[in-house]
Every structure is written in structure tokens, then in C-alpha cells.
Amino acid sequence: MEQNIEPKTATSEALQYQIEGPIGEGGYGTVYKAKQFSTGQTVALKKLKAREDIDEATKAKQIARFERETRLVAELNHPHIVQLLDKGMDAQGLPYAVFEYVEGETLKQYLVNQGSLSASEMAPLMSQLLDALVTAHEAGIVHRDLKPQNIMVTQTGAKPYVKILDFGIAAFTQEFRTADYRTLTFTKDVVGTPTYSAPEQLRGESPSGKSDLYAWGLILLECLTGVPIMDGESVGQVFQKQLAPTPVPLPPVLLDHPLGLLMRRVLEKNP
């Protein structure tokens, strides 16, 4: 169910939040750790970059994409998807969005620090991810850039758990897509991260939940092995691996395991 979050005025960002420092940066936005004055709550404040090297048409496109992300996340309410708390426009007329602050590290960092995970360590994390994806897909939303760098591992109790971040290039599936979203799909402009992108996504085809499940399967294998399964020395090499009809290689331990059968279905290149 969509959260009713009213956009704030151009001055509300400065009045409500104290920025403490950057915690992440993407192609068109920067994420800051910030504190809300009224509550003292620590939040993640994402702002569109102010750039003078782009024309007005490109700027309008980036603003539309940014606002689209906040609208998509507002559709979702799930314990393993980062929650949108607030949104508005800054004094320069650029949008910002406020998300819950997730303490921890990305799954990518977690695997670097921990190494490959055992089946018992991997299973609950991947189950949580799958449950979050099901919720998004039921709302007609496909993430399109699921990867270890967009998954936070955090821990408030005895065991770690995950939260999905960054719906910046997410899209509505065909049956849920409306006219305003259709013009903002950017299917041929942004395809996600090739190492985790399904072949149909790299071909520029319409998004579907199958693309996210393909990425989920590759991430599961990476958790078990500690290394990306479809990596390469160049982007071209990665594209070649993903688009080739050759099945995604499975670790020997999965070849005769029931999980291996599931992985074959999830990672099927021409479903």
C-alpha cells in the first residue's frame, strides 16, 4: 500500500535535517547520513546532484527518474525493503528523499569480510531477499538492479538480516504500468549491472520478475562461493557470458542437490 508522504517545501530540508556527511554516491545522486532535528532520528538523505554540465532536458529526465524512485518505494512496505520516510525539494529546486538509515555493510562488503557463507548462513538471508522480491513483484514492481552492493546486511539481534536498497531504475511490469511510468522506463538507457543482469534485460526487453529472480540466483551462488559467478575482465566479456546459450555454471556441491534444480530453473536463460 502506498504511503501518504506529502512533499515538503523548498526550505524544509534545511529546516528539518542536519547533514552529517556522505555515505554513498551514484551516477546522479548522493546519499548523506543526516539527523532529523525534531526527533533526533538518524536517516539517510538522498539528493539529486546539482550539475552545470548537463542541459535542461537531461536535468528534467534525471529529476523525473529520481522522483519515480521515491514513488516506487512508497508503494512498498516490507521489513526487508528500505523504507521511505519523507521527500521534498531543496532550495535549488532539486528533489530529495529521506529513507530509514540502515546500520551495517553491503552484502558485497560482508562477503569480502566473511568470505563464502555456509548454507545455514546463506539460507535465511536469501529467504528474506526472496520474500521482499515477492512483495515488490506482487505490487507490479521489478527492481532491475539487484546486486550485493544494493543489499545491506544489518544486525540488531542475534542474527544478521538484509534490506534491499536503491530502486533507482526499477520499473512497473507491463500489467501494472501506467502512462506516466511508461515514459520513464529507460529500458534501453539503463539495464542494471551486467554481472547480475538477466539476458532478456541486457537485450532491452520489457522488465519482468524473472529478471530479478535471475539476479537473486546469481547472488545466492556468490554467497556460497564468495565470488561473482558471471564476472569477466571487461563489460563485453560479461555480456558475452550472460547472452551465450551456455547454462550458468553451478558449484559442484549443488549438482546433485535439490537446490541445484531450483537454481537451474531460476537461472534458465530462455524461460
Q: What is the pLDDT of residues 178-234, one digit of tens each?
A: 333 322 333 334 457 899 999 998 998 877 899 999 999 999 999 999 999 999 889
Whether residues 117 and 218 fall in one domain: yes
Could you tell me where the beta strands, DSSP code E, fall in 78-156? 84-89, 95-100, 105-106, 141-142, 151-154
On whether residue 134 sits in a domain, the answer given is yes
- Among 100, 118, 137, the domain boundary falls at 100
Question: Which residue among 145, 166, 189, 256 is the active-site one?
Answer: 145
Average pLDDT estimate for 148-152:
92
Dihedral sign for Cα atoms in the order 239, 245, 246, 251:
positive
Model pLDDT, residue 95? 84
Question: How many Å apart are CA 1 and CA 177, to the nearest integer?
Answer: 16
pTM here? 0.82
172 by DSSP, 3-state: which?
strand
148 shares a domain with 239: yes
Q: Reply yes or no on whether the pLDDT at 45 is more than 70.
A: yes
Q: Of 187, 204, 192, 199, give the one whose Cα is nearest residue 267.
A: 199
Selection from 65-79, 155-169, 216-230 with the highest mean pLDDT: 216-230
Task: Return the pLDDT at 106.
Answer: 92
Does residue 173 sit in the same domain as residue 235? yes
Residue 131: active-site member: no
Query: Whole domain around residue 44: which residue ranges?
Result: 12-100
Percentage of the chain exceeding pLDDT 90: 45
Alpha carbon distance 112, 121 (integer Å): 15
Helix (H) or strand (E) holding 17: strand 17-25
Q: Is residue 7 part of a domain?
A: no
> Which run of H or of E encompasses 171?
strand 171-172
Assigned domain for 226 exists: yes
Q: Mean pLDDT lowest for which of 127-136, 152-161, 207-216?
A: 152-161
Residues 86 and 125 both lie in one domain: no
